[in-house]
A = this chain, B = another copy of it.
């Protein structure tokens, strides 16, 4: 029975190389090139072997999405750590987010593709949601401000960031400008949170 664990280890290794190969393929040649047969071929297997590690193509794509969100979380957390000022601890992860979208455009598109089950995507993104909530409550505390609804503020910031980063994929805008726009948008939000932490803004 001692061979059982090695078998498992080998199985996991094959699975991981499939994910790695699929990631490389996706980013190198785009979503259209990401076919089951090519992934299998790139790890020197035939197509049906893929189905011993993933229930179907969706499951493989979901694995890529999960890796994507994990890498994104790492980048954002690292950016937050290097920040020195209070506002930078929010602005730096923002920049990291847009930069990630620029560095891995196809993976980023997949992470937000409606073809992958929205529920699964949301679950994969949960750690980032937690991180952002933490960053935001930390920011508010350092500013001596209590937000009426931190989760609402978080959702607004998340949506904003997502939308502006997606704008960067348009070649008429580009990711450098998108990073600038995201910075502006978040600064505006922060300004409002400080002056109106209750979330109730006056109209005119």
Q: Interface residues, chain A, CB within 8 Å of chain B? A: 31, 85-88, 109, 112-115, 118-119, 121-122, 143, 152, 155-156, 158-167, 169-173, 177-178, 181-182, 184-185, 187-192, 194-196, 199, 201-204
Asked if residues B166 and A162 are in contact (CB atoms below 8 Å), the reply is yes
Tell me whether A189 and B187 are in contact (CB under 8 A).
Answer: no
Please give, as numbers and ranges, the residues of chain B lying within 8 Å of A190 by CB-CB distance.
Answer: 201
User: Provided the pairs A160-B159, A162-B167, A167-B155 are in contact, do residues A87 and B204 lie with their beta carbons within 8 angstroms?
Assistant: yes
Contact A85/B204 with A162-B166, A169-B114 known, Cβ cut-off 8 Å:
yes
Contact between chains at A164 and B171 (CB < 8 Å): no
Q: Is the interface of A mostly helix, strand, loop or mixed?
A: helix
Please indicate the chain B residues that have their CB under 8 angstroms from the CB of A158 in the complex.
Answer: 163, 167
Contacting residue for A115 out of B31, B160, B171, B177, CB 8 A: B31
Listed by A's residue number, 29 A-B pairs whose Cβ atoms lie within 8 Å are A31-B115, A85-B203, A88-B203, A109-B114, A112-B166, A118-B169, A118-B171, A119-B172, A121-B170, A122-B172, A152-B181, A155-B167, A155-B173, A156-B185, A158-B167, A159-B160, A159-B164, A159-B165, A159-B167, A159-B178, A160-B164, A161-B163, A162-B163, A185-B189, A187-B203, A188-B192, A190-B201, A191-B191, A191-B201
